[in-house]
Chain A
Amino acid sequence: MSEAREFKHIGQRTIRPDGYDKVTGRANFGADLSLPGMIWGKIHRSPHAHAKILSIDTSKAEAHPDVLAVVTASDFPAIQSETIAVGEGSEDLFDLTRNLLAADKVLYHGHAVAALAARSERAAAEALSLIEVQYEVLPPVLDLRAAMADDAPVLHQDMFTEGYDKKPEKPSNVATRLEAKIGDIEAGFAAADVIVEREFYTPTAHQGYIEPHACTVRYDENGQSMIWCSTQGHFDVRARTAKILDMDQTSLKVIASEIGGGFGGKTTVYLEPVALLLSKKSGCPVKMVMQRTEVFIATGPTSAAKLWVKVGAKKDGKITAMQGRLAYEAGAFKGSPMMPGVMTMFAPYDVANVCVEGFDVVVNKPKVAAYRAPGAPQAEFAAEMLVSELADQLAMDPLELRLKNAAREGTQTLYGPKLKSVGLVACLEAVKNSPHYQAPLGTPQSGKVRGRALASGFWFNMGGQSSVVINMNPDGTGTIVEGSPDIGGSRASMQMMAAEAMELPISRLKPIIADTDNVPFSATTGGSRTTYATGMAVVEAAQKVVQQLKERAAALWNLTPEQVEYADGVVHAKQGDDQLSVREICQAAEKTGGQISGQANINARGAGPGFAVHVCDLEVDTDTGKVDVIRYTASQDAGKAIHPGYVEGQLQGGAVQGIGWALNEEYIFDDQGVMENSGFLDYRIPLASDLPMIDTLVVEVPNTFHPYGVRGVGETSIIPPLAAVGYAVSKAIGAPITTLPCSPPRVLKLIQDKA
């Protein structure tokens, strides 16, 4: 593709096609569907973080006049261990089933033990207390240090660490050990003039989507079962639910409702198979909606991590060696995003000698789920903190140090390929030339101190399977049928790309997210893949429609398709004055072979990596330890911004999630593993009043694999803030930050210890 290409629709700030419904309250989200005869399901959850289940007595609940069904793990068909893809990682089907309803043991406070459905939501909630569970309480394992201790209580007696040449002799809480390296790490450090080394810690944090998990389901013994739910991937909900309940995929239709945020957390199932079992047992449609507390204690969080990092460099700033050792909490079942952490940790750097070792560790906390660039924010936080420290030791500008070592085209990655054209240098240059970076930090009022820092970020981005059908209607309008749930405005991008490819006004094209019966398989919205991969399918389907339009017009004129051309919604004969509009061709389609549609079922390769650079100015109140971000700029390579407004929104939203993670967000547990802050009042995500405007610098280094140059933009933006904020706090208070979040008590203690 040509970089100088002129676009008609791409790059415009159109009104999103689903916008009207979203600003009027008409859009239907997960909890918004009710069916005639519907009853309500609720989950009975463990009060213990670690315990053997001795018995479950559901008889009193079953005897309740309003209760129509009760289920436990024994109601699931027998499940074998099997690895299945989920979002950006994988999970074990057996573990997933045990997470849906515990069988022998409960492994975290809030672990589901039984479920029931009753005539009203209130009756269901009240009847939960009638379920009687006898436990033998076991000592909980609540952090990495405890979990990796030699004498740690073992969560799973059949877990032997994978990744060593020899199978360990006894089970442990370490599921997997992984090492990746390039070059010679010892030689790299031997060549260094300066070496910095430190250990960091990041807390358990939640995606914090505002919409709780919800579904409405109807079981049908004749193969017409239905699930309506809030999910990033309805085909994955179908696959998991069908596997777990031993159904054919064709007997289960999954409809993706509008989704009220996910950030990776809605790429697996928590309710749907349980709800369908309750529907099967009761014979009624069942609705389940989680309470906010349940969302915190039983879904989603991302891993707490312990991150040791060491970097060596020459006096001139050339980095000679980068080494990391990372341990990630997986929660109750194996499968933390340790591996992407290992692979992304030093990806913004072109360094010959790199070695990273990672450990996936189970603890008595909820099973982690994907969260925006899973694994990368933790690992890159540690790396970026230390690179900034290195810059200070070398008395170099941190941006110049990064420029000097920046990954670029040809850089050998730790994860395999050499980089193609990427935008890290362009992002660094954009920040360097920005009004923000050029401006002085300014002087704070008395009692406050200021700091500025910057950090880079890298995420792979994904492609994968997407299917699109564009159906032309007899009036010349078109329906874009896709299977990628729209989590942040992607319908607008699809509409714009189709309009560009078909040279039609966007108002003539309507994108819809079809259910699993009405569009071929499409992978989950995740991995920043939708605008890239589904967009690629949209363009291919659109091109097929254009080809058919030419063929149909040519047929009406007794010409060959080569004798006509298409421009601006009109087919012209190359010779003579004949011309037909799209509308006329579609109206006449009956005479030329039936209606026109284009379909593309693709597996997109070549998702271009996304790099970002953020710079943060902040102010610390030395009396309270409270940190206020006062200026923030996020730069990122979008390849090509299809809808700049929504691209900027991804940069801003990711930046603010990262700021929240850096400043406030963390799970707080008591010594028995009970989460003490399972609500938005105490698990404090950023508020409008906490923040300044988030300035954006969208860089466009086209990804040659995509017809319009798109790279995914959804995830990279959450990575840089952790270290941009963390190191700016270090600079402001003059003491090293090693533990996130930089919450007021923690920062105040650092200030007091220093004094």
Chain B
Amino acid sequence: MSKTHVTTSINASLHEFLCEPGDTLLDVLRNELQLTGTKEGCGTGDCGACSVTLNGRLVCACLVLAVEVEGMEVGTIEGIGQSDSLDVIQEKFLEHAALQCGICTPGLIVSTKALLDENPDPTEAEARYYLAGNLCRCTGYDKIIRAVMDAAATLGGAKEGV
């Protein structure tokens, strides 16, 4: 089967790859581009471990065909934080011990960033419902939600200060 050539932006840098029509964005990120920070927990869109953004919209990379991302902007965990400093969300996850095994963490951080981009000042209930698509089996979510609320407060505070 002939492969399709795709040009896309991933974390603001231009990427080209060849894929088969059935390949998912997750397959390509992990196996072709070695961007393994995006995890696979189910392959059916139920767990959120592969959360990425497409043109700013939160999606499961396992439910997106790789050919669909032609000309789009893909955001992954590798694009959050700088090479020498963490994003506030990442810092708050660490400060609050909001991860145990860490497999769901990249997806949760991508989702939290999408949440706070959409709704900078969420209520606890809004945060819980927005993140309901990201399964975590270790923490019981308590510390994750605390980290998210703290990140929102910190970012909000920063905005007020500007």
Residues of A whose CB lies within 8 Å of any CB of B are 13, 15-16, 18-20, 22-29, 31-32, 34, 121-122, 207-212, 258-263, 289, 291-292, 487-489, 643, 645-646, 648-650, 652-657, 679-681, 685-691, 693-694
Contacts and interface: CB of A to CB of B under 8 A. Distances in A.
Give the bracket for the number of chain B residues in contact with chain A.
35 or more
A375 B42 CA distance: 27
Given A15-B95, A25-B38, A679 B138 contact: no
A211 B107 CA distance: 13
B78 A25 contact: yes
B131 A646 contact: no
Contacts of A211: 39, 41, 101, 103
B101 A259 contact: yes
B78 A489 contact: no
A20 B106 CA distance: 11
B46 interface: yes
A688 B141 contact: yes
A728 B78 CA distance: 45
Interface in B82-130: 86, 90, 93-97, 99-106, 109, 125, 127-129
Given A13-B97, A260-B102, A261-B103, A292 B42 contact: yes
Contacts of B97: 13, 16, 489, 643, 645-646, 648-649
Contacts of A657: 137, 140
22 contacts: A13-B95, A13-B97, A20-B86, A23-B105, A23-B106, A24-B86, A25-B37, A25-B76, A32-B30, A209-B101, A209-B137, A210-B39, A210-B49, A211-B41, A211-B101, A259-B101, A262-B101, A292-B42, A645-B96, A653-B100, A681-B44, A688-B129
Interface in B9-62: 20, 22, 27, 30-31, 34-44, 46-47, 49
A29 B99 contact: no
Contact of B94 (A15, A207, A689): A15
A45 to B, nearest CB: 16
Contacts of A650: 100
B101 A208 contact: no
Could you say which of B35, B76, B104 has the most chain A C-beta atoms within 10 Å of its C-beta?
A: B104
A122 B100 contact: no
B67 interface: no
A207 B138 CA distance: 10
A22 B86 contact: no
Given A212-B41, A687-B132, 8 more contacts: A15-B95, A22-B99, A23-B102, A210-B49, A210-B104, A649-B138, A656-B140, A689-B125
**A-B interface, 8 closest residue pairs, ranked by CB to CB distance from nearest:** A25-B37, A260-B103, A645-B97, A656-B140, A22-B102, A25-B77, A652-B140, A488-B100
Given A22-B105, A680-B135, A694-B142, A649 B39 contact: no
A31 B43 CA distance: 13
A653 B139 contact: yes
A488 B138 CA distance: 8
Contacts of A258: 101-103
Nearest to B146: A693
A556 B132 CA distance: 62
Given A25-B77, A122-B22, A688-B134, A653 B86 contact: no
Contacts of A19: 93-94, 99
